[in-house]
A and B are shown apart, each in its own frame.
Chain A
């Protein structure tokens, strides 16, 4: 703990080894610069208007909506890990729940911040609560994301209040203790809200009956994409938690969780992913043979505009769905870290590809018979705004990692060999 300032040293949890203060500040510097650059881009969009973007009347959604949907799906690891731990009592996941909550908070708050820049009249956001259209999937999304973000803040509070300095204040300690006892309630509420809004995000596209590429038949009120988005987010969430834990472990050069934790995350992810791949395949077959042609659009047409050929569909289902699912289902491979992390990365990329297809390909494809296929490339202001979210996420996570206990097993795992890199996973029972 050399070179840490006195103030900094007193904030760090006792028993956890953290880098020196200058080194930490050096790590923060590029992210702060990126955040400032991104805020400048976002500021231009807010002050001068959305003419600063490359979106237009045809490409009404762009980079922001695509990446918002992606980070919200990846942030699903928070609600699903909470569900597994507090509701299904998978105690092993206590090792990563705090990290999952921070990732969820970062993903959701970042997505909401970008949405505030993305809408033309952000000061009217409250209209959705005042004049809600209960038939609109976007109204559902707004309600659920707002409520779930509140739940995430509540779930994040105990993580912060467990800080060494803050624990010295008795009322904080008591509050944290009482809050912790109620955590299963918040986990349950969070799970419900998150399930619902992940579904509503899928429903956003599935209900577009004027866009046969996105439109899907469904069950009762909800198109099939409602259920596919829930399943895909639940499947990839644990993978992303494993992936992010591994990345943090590599950067911090510390063991953060026992092999059983990675194994469990991989196993859950694999089982849900194979279910998703099956459901997505059935849905695609129905869409190709019935839903789309019934509306006058042969599905093959959608893939006749390059570069969005059938390879995209294959990549989405097979390369980024089936392949990681098979790896994660194979206990032997799953227990080897390179396989597990590769599969988790593939699955995470797969969900990004799915959200890309639903957002960008849907809008690029023509609908009117005399329409043209369109292209879109984001402006630097759009890219910078999103990079600000990435920087914000890294900064919040970095501070949380340094001053809070994100991985309860870290202390004991790093006592004997503090700088030991992550070992191969040992065999554990399925």
Chain B
């Protein structure tokens, strides 16, 4: 397939739908994400606020006492904002951009200055700074994913929907003479790793995709809806208290509740 044909492939708007009622907080998605994207193990001095977890699982509770006490887990990653993407406009040297072909918010660590302005801009706290040099225990570096470049100290990184996998899917489609990638060939690591199939990934503009259909469910919502950032990560829940907490416009609504 020629480059021209590849360029003519239809644009996609990749997104995810995460069913919070299925998520049991096992953290397999976090581990799979770290392994796939060559995220180094945390340094001994790292804390929850200085470590790198492109995907993190938040734990929320309904505030009631036993036996009515309930908990839920909310996996958070880059929300891949579709409008007024907060991190893109602030970066002084265009190290962040939205790929018009995929809708994915890309971070270019090799161009990043490490000013962390994008981190201050992100309301979802989904961006991580390399406070240390990346280091792997002896031998473990042999298990690194050759498709993904490790990042150096002093730059910002974040979820990019496993961009290495996207490129591999594109190459496979090109080899088969297809213009568009097969959705089955491009699934982020967290989606594959989730034992309860809580995460569904796909093109939100493709009406036939499961992700697009679930995103239109009456149980679907997005985080911080009033900010106008139009994230491409949707959450699903049929539990009113979970929805009340997770879909609130601000911490104030939860506090009132």
Residues of A that sit less than 8 Å from B by CB:
49-51, 55-61, 118-121, 124-125, 127-128, 130-133, 135-139, 142, 204, 207-212, 294-298, 300-301, 304, 362-363, 366-371, 374
With a cutoff of 8 Å between Cβ atoms, the chain A residues found around residue B74 in the complex are 370
Indicate if the CB atoms of A136 and B89 lie closer than 8 Å: yes
Chain B: residues with Cβ within 8 Å of the partner, total of 62
With a cutoff of 8 Å between Cβ atoms, the chain A residues found around residue B90 in the complex are 136-138, 204, 207-208
Indicate if the CB atoms of A368 and B125 lie closer than 8 Å: yes
Cβ 8 A contact of A120, one of B89, B93, B116, B250: B116
With a cutoff of 8 Å between Cβ atoms, the chain B residues found around residue A211 in the complex are 120-121, 123
- Are A366 and B119 CB-contacts (below 8 A) given A58-B125, A121-B154, A207-B90? no
Q: Could you show 7 A-B contacts with beta carbons less than 8 Å apart?
A: A49-B133, A120-B116, A124-B93, A131-B93, A295-B226, A298-B252, A301-B252
Indicate if the CB atoms of A369 and B248 lie closer than 8 Å: yes
Name B111-142 residues within 8 Å CB distance of A: 111-117, 119-125, 127-133
With a cutoff of 8 Å between Cβ atoms, the chain A residues found around residue B58 in the complex are 368, 370
Indicate if the CB atoms of B251 and A368 lie closer than 8 Å: yes
Q: Which residue of B lies closest to A371 (CB)?
A: B251
Q: Does B146 contact A (CB under 8 A)?
A: no
Besides A51-B50, A369-B224, A370-B254, 11 new A-B residue pairs in contact (Cβ under 8 A), listed by A number: A49-B153, A58-B49, A131-B93, A136-B117, A209-B227, A295-B249, A296-B224, A296-B225, A296-B226, A363-B120, A370-B251
Indicate if the CB atoms of A301 and B93 lie closer than 8 Å: no
Q: Which residue of B lies closest to A292 (CB)?
A: B250
With a cutoff of 8 Å between Cβ atoms, the chain B residues found around residue A58 in the complex are 49, 125
Indicate if the CB atoms of B92 and A49 lie closer than 8 Å: no
Indicate if the CB atoms of A295 and B132 lie closer than 8 Å: no
- Are A132 and B93 CB-contacts (below 8 A) given A121-B113, A370-B58? yes
With a cutoff of 8 Å between Cβ atoms, the chain B residues found around residue A371 in the complex are 125, 251
What is the CA–CA distance of A363 and B120 in the complex, to the nearest angstrom?
Answer: 7
- Are A133 and B113 CB-contacts (below 8 A) given A58-B125, A210-B86, A296-B249? no
What is the CA–CA distance of A60 and B113 in the complex, to the nearest angstrom?
Answer: 13
Indicate if the CB atoms of A57 and B245 lie closer than 8 Å: no
Name B151-167 residues within 8 Å CB distance of A: 152-156
Indicate if the CB atoms of A127 and B111 lie closer than 8 Å: yes
Q: What is the CB-to-nearest-CB distance from A379 to chain B, in angstroms, rounded to a whole number?
A: 12
Indicate if the CB atoms of B114 and A294 lie closer than 8 Å: no
- Are A368 and B112 CB-contacts (below 8 A) given A57-B49, A133-B93, A133-B94? no
Q: Which residue of B lies closest to A300 (CB)?
A: B252
Indicate if the CB atoms of B86 and A301 lie closer than 8 Å: no
- Are A210 and B43 CB-contacts (below 8 A) given A57-B50, A121-B113, A136-B92? no
Indicate if the CB atoms of A128 and B92 lie closer than 8 Å: yes
Q: Which residue of A lies closest to B96 (CB)?
A: A133
Indicate if the CB atoms of B112 and A56 lie closer than 8 Å: no
Indicate if the CB atoms of B111 and A367 lie closer than 8 Å: no
Cβ 8 A contact of B251, one of A119, A135, A369: A369
What is the CA–CA distance of A363 and B127 in the complex, to the nearest angstrom?
Answer: 14
- Are A210 and B113 CB-contacts (below 8 A) given A121-B155, A296-B224, A368-B223? no
Name B45-90 residues within 8 Å CB distance of A: 45, 47, 49-50, 58, 60, 74, 76, 84, 86, 89-90
What is the CA–CA distance of A51 and B15 in the complex, to the nearest angstrom?
Answer: 33
Indicate if the CB atoms of A131 and B250 lie closer than 8 Å: no
Q: Does B255 contact A (CB under 8 A)?
A: yes
Indicate if the CB atoms of B154 and A50 lie closer than 8 Å: yes
Q: Which residue of B lies closest to A136 (CB)?
A: B92
Q: Does B246 contact A (CB under 8 A)?
A: yes
Indicate if the CB atoms of A369 and B254 lie closer than 8 Å: yes
Q: What is the CB-to-nearest-CB distance from B253 to chain A, in angstroms, rounded to a whole number?
A: 6
Q: Does B91 contact A (CB under 8 A)?
A: yes
List of 10 A-B pairs having minimum Cβ-Cβ separation, nearest first:
A120-B114, A120-B154, A296-B249, A296-B226, A210-B123, A56-B49, A301-B252, A369-B248, A60-B116, A60-B119
Q: Which residue of A lies closest to B89 (CB)?
A: A135
Q: Which residue of B lies closest to A214 (CB)?
A: B120
With a cutoff of 8 Å between Cβ atoms, the chain B residues found around residue A370 in the complex are 58, 60, 74, 245-246, 251, 254
With a cutoff of 8 Å between Cβ atoms, the chain A residues found around residue B183 in the complex are none
Q: Does B229 contact A (CB under 8 A)?
A: yes
Indicate if the CB atoms of A295 and B227 lie closer than 8 Å: yes
- Are A369 and B129 CB-contacts (below 8 A) given A209-B227, A298-B250? no
With a cutoff of 8 Å between Cβ atoms, the chain B residues found around residue A135 in the complex are 89
Q: Does B177 contact A (CB under 8 A)?
A: no
With a cutoff of 8 Å between Cβ atoms, the chain B residues found around residue A127 in the complex are 93, 95, 111, 113
Indicate if the CB atoms of B50 and A119 lie closer than 8 Å: no
With a cutoff of 8 Å between Cβ atoms, the chain B residues found around residue A125 in the complex are 113
Indicate if the CB atoms of A49 and B132 lie closer than 8 Å: yes
Cβ 8 A contact of A368, one of B113, B129, B224: B224
What is the CA–CA distance of A75 and B51 in the complex, to the nearest angstrom?
Answer: 37
Indicate if the CB atoms of A131 and B94 lie closer than 8 Å: yes
With a cutoff of 8 Å between Cβ atoms, the chain B residues found around residue A119 in the complex are 113-115, 154
Q: What is the CB-to-nearest-CB distance from A64 to chain B, in angstroms, rounded to a whole number?
A: 11
What is the CA–CA distance of A207 and B40 in the complex, to the nearest angstrom?
Answer: 33
With a cutoff of 8 Å between Cβ atoms, the chain B residues found around residue A133 in the complex are 89, 91-94
Question: Interface digits, B211-228 against A, CB 8 Å rule (1 contact, 0 not)?
Answer: 000000000000111111
Q: What is the CB-to-nearest-CB distance from B41 to chain A, in angstroms, rounded to a whole number?
A: 15
Q: What is the CB-to-nearest-CB distance from A80 to chain B, in angstroms, rounded to a whole number?
A: 26
Q: Which residue of B lies closest to A118 (CB)?
A: B115
Cβ 8 A contact of B123, one of A51, A118, A130, A367: A367
